[in-house]
Amino acid sequence: MNSVSLIGRLTRDVELRHTPAGTSVASFGLAVDRAGDKQDDGSIGTGFFDVTMWGKTAETAAQYLVKGRQIGVTGELHHHRWTSETGENRAKVEVVGRAFTFCGSKSDGDGGNSSTGTSFVPVGAAADDDIPF
């Protein structure tokens, strides 16, 4: 079974693009604290993951997710291997997300910083619009 669940914060805004057939593809980075992994300076270690989502989930992610927002992601791991132009063997593991869930408050992340009194507002929505879920 290939299943992964992560909770972390977006390291960059969602990039939405489309395949030639018109399928939506969203990609973003997710920073996840590593439980029990304290550094010498007392800080907690962090893992960084590339996440890709497809279809309607990709469109929803692009509409509502912004850098700094805390989310939970469920999906599976995909491992890619290739040889670079210089002949070096390369490898990468990415998370192909099936679903995401908001974590924390609406004012988390750059989408709404509670210290400035602003609130999270989805791209293209007015401040008084309700999120449809």
Each residue's pLDDT expressed in tens, for the chain with a length of 133 residues: 999 999 999 999 999 999 999 999 999 999 998 876 666 776 778 899 999 999 999 999 999 999 999 999 999 999 999 999 999 999 999 999 999 999 976 655 544 443 333 344 555 555 555 555 4
Contact (CB, 8 A) for 45 and 51: no
Alpha-helix residue ranges (DSSP H) falling in the chain: 55-64
The type of residue at 127 is A
Evaluate whether the domain defined by 4-33+43-102 bears CATH number 1.10.510.10: no
Sign of CA dihedral 36, 38, 44, 50: negative
Q: For tokens 């008084």, what's the residue?
A: 128
Tokens of 66: 């912004």
Q: Where exactly are the structural domains of the chain?
A: 4-33+43-102
Those residues with Cβ within 8 angstroms of residue 21's Cβ, 6 or more apart along the chain or in another chain: none
pLDDT at 104: 77
